[in-house]
Amino acid sequence: MKIPLPSTPLAPAADFRDAMALLPAALTVVTTVDGEGRRWGFTASSVVSASLDPPLLLVGLSRTSSCHDAFTAAPEFVVNVLDSGHRALARKFAAHGVDRFAGEGFARWPGTDLPYLPDAHAAYRCVRHDVVTMGDHVLLFGSLTGVDAHRPGTPLLWYRRTFHTPH
């Protein structure tokens, strides 16, 4: 005899988006470089601390993103935590068909070709730990290997589909 499983309907995509709009998030631009020296980056709000031991960050990346192949292959990446002055940069790194790095103040993380933002609120250098496919995203787990911080200023937040800065 089959016992029917209790079924709770999943939230439709629009409801999920509306719900997640209520979850405040730090805005970041995640960057890397590929084997040909080409720089890649995208605006990301799906960045969280994932583990203390080992020290892991996790970045959610859409499987349909133009950045997918570069980031799933990359041995290292940088999470640049945006400052309140980075609204235009955040929009640019979420835009299609533009040269996202052109005219922006990216530098190379010392001793590497990894692009990072020296005027970010903070920048985390990560070594690829694992890449896990989850639904329509991949979860990039990175081990923290370096931090560039110590700047005054306020981080840029994303909440209710717009920018905010903490007071």
Ligand X SMILES: Cc1cc2nc3c(=O)[nH]c(=O)nc-3n(C[C@H](O)[C@H](O)[C@H](O)COP(=O)(O)O)c2cc1C
Which residues bind to ligand X, rule: CB under 6 A? 27, 42-46, 60-62, 65-67, 93-94, 96, 158
Least distance CB 66 / ligand X (angstroms): 4
Q: Which residue, 1, 138, 146, is CA-closest to 72?
A: 138
Taking the C-alpha atoms of residue 63 and residue 69, their distance in angstroms, rounded to an integer, is: 9
Alpha carbons 75 and 113: distance in angstroms, whole number = 12
What's the closest the beta carbon of residue 159 comes to ligand X, in angstroms?
10
Q: Which is nearer to ligand X, 27 or 114 (CB)?
A: 27
Contact (Cβ atoms closer than 8 angstroms) between residue 27 and residue 90 = yes
Q: How far is the CB of 8 from ligand X (least distance, A)?
A: 26
Pick the closer one to ligand X by CB: 68 or 129: 68
Nearest approach, Cβ of 4 to ligand X (angstroms)?
A: 37
Toward ligand X, which CB reaches closer, 110 or 154? Answer: 154
**Partners of 54 in beta bridges:** none
| Identity of the residue, 27 or 81, whose beta carbon is nearer to ligand X in the bound complex | 27
How far from chain centre, in Å, is Cα 125?
12
Residue nearest to ligand X (CB): 46
Are 140 and 131 within 8 A, CB to CB? Answer: yes
